[in-house]
Amino acid sequence: MHPLGKDELQKLSDAVAKEVDGSEAQGSITDEAARLLREAGVIRMLQPKDFGGYEAHPRDFYEVLMELTARAPSIGWVSGVVGVHPFEFAQMDPRVQQEVWGEDEDTWIASPYAFIGRAKRVEGGFILNGQWPFSSGTDHCEWVVLGGRAETEGGPADEFTEMRHFVLPRADYEILQDSWKVMGLAGTGSKDVVVKDAFVPDYRTLEVSRLNSREYASKYRPDSALYQVPFDLLFPGAIAAATIGIADGVVRHFSDYSRDRVSRMGVKATQNPYHMASLGAAIADIDAARTQILTDITDAYEMAQRGEYITSEMQARARVHQVRAVHRAADAAASVFKNAGGNANRLSNPIQRQWRDLSVALGHACNVQDPVYAAFAGSLYGIPKPAGVII
């Protein structure tokens, strides 16, 4: 079960498309956009049923992200990033889930996951410090999950080697409101957050290695197939889905723009064979990119439903497919944008915004392609993956 059928998704995408200008102008998604997402249940798609969620098929989640980012890139991007966090929190200590969702099932959680913070061990937990960039949708969130390195239990003091995620309520961190001045995805409001000497109890942390090995899922959600999907497959897949959707939006806007466009030589765009060839090829490449990542996440989920374990080899192949699909879609968008002409660069033309948003989305760590290609190829020969590569 999930909240959005085809007709409902169309209505939602039509509605959020009206919030694009306002979101970009204010540097975060509008209150109306946030209301629409909450009302539609988008952020609760991967949330556990016992806390008001849908535990939806991850393919359905990806499809929603693709459609929203094609129409409203920043709003769809926030849907993906914030919408993944319930997937992780479902695998945490039940006390965390109760604190976050017990009174309001629509409570949103921000991130980022970069291991920037430093956490000293104290009795009962950690003292966390750090400043993190790129906290998408953070103004509409009441909690945050942050990556950091902690002192290893029993190890030397001030030696931060243990990678963890730390969960904090809104009172324990500061949002730097003027920290998101960018050329694209401006409406995501991906501002910096700062933590100064915050105490984080043990139960509000996760060891990343145990999250990725599905140890927490086996302990807290053993009967749900959704949470047996690896975090390091589902999360980058959401980033890939959102990015492919943005690229699709470039192609859609180009298609709409071409319908009535006439060149300075008086030739209709629809009668220009090179122009039309670029559009046809781009649509095919977008379709191929979509199909690839949707097929892989469906295969993984169906394996989990059968009680089978998704191996690291399968995960690596799906990850290399994700980044390849992203860049196939981005190349398709580039091929049509170069044929859009000078008027496509006017701020009144939606093609240029979609193009700028795509350019920024491609810079996300999950979309960086060469390290993933190399790590995947190395895995075929038993070569360990380099540190920091998500595969």
The rounded distance, in Å, linking the Cα atoms of 284 and 288 is: 6
In this prediction, residues 293-313 reach a mean pLDDT of 96
Is the pLDDT score of 1 beyond 70?
A: no
Contacts of 128 (CB under 8 A, 6+ apart): 117, 118, 119, 146, 148, 166, 168, 195, 197, 198, 199, 200
Which residues in the chain are classed under CATH 1.20.140.10? 229-379
pTM of the predicted protein model: 0.96
Tokens standing for residue 53:
């969620």
Residues β-bridged to residue 168 = 144
pLDDT over 70 (residue 267): no
Tens-place pLDDT, residues 87-125: 999 999 999 999 999 999 999 999 999 999 999 999 999
Residue type at 139? Answer: D
pLDDT at 273: 83
Lowest-pLDDT choice from 33-42, 114-123, 337-346, 368-377: 337-346
In contact, 336 and 286? CB cutoff 8 Å: no
The segment(s) of the chain belonging to CATH 2.40.110.10 are: 109-206
Residue 190 has pLDDT above 80, yes or no: yes
Q: Indicate whether 265 pLDDT > 90.
A: no
Instruction: Please tell me the least confidently modeled range out of 85-94, 154-163, 368-377.
Output: 154-163
Once rounded to an integer, what is the mean pLDDT over residues 46-72? 98
Write the pLDDT tens digit of every residue in 127-154: 999 999 999 999 999 999 999 999 988 7
Taking a C-beta distance cutoff of 8 angstroms, is the pair 142, 169 a contact?
yes
Q: Is it true that domain 109-206 has CATH number 3.40.50.150?
A: no
Alpha-carbon gap, residue 91 to 113, rounded angstroms: 16
If we measure between CA atoms, which residue out of 134, 218, 121, 224 comes closest to residue 179? 134
Q: Is the pLDDT of residue 371 over 80?
A: yes
Q: Is the pLDDT of residue 264 over 80?
A: no
HSE of 291, CA atoms in CB hemisphere, 13 A: 6
**The CATH number of the domain covering residues in 229-379:** 1.20.140.10
Least confident of 116-120, 166-170, 263-267, 322-326: 263-267
Mean local confidence (pLDDT), 169-178: 98
Q: What is the mean pLDDT of residues 58-79?
A: 98
- CATH 1.10.540.10 residue ranges in the chain? 6-101
Fold designation for 6-101:
Butyryl-Coa Dehydrogenase, subunit A; domain 1 (1.10.540)
Q: Lowest-pLDDT range, 179-188, 284-293, 343-352, 363-372?
A: 343-352
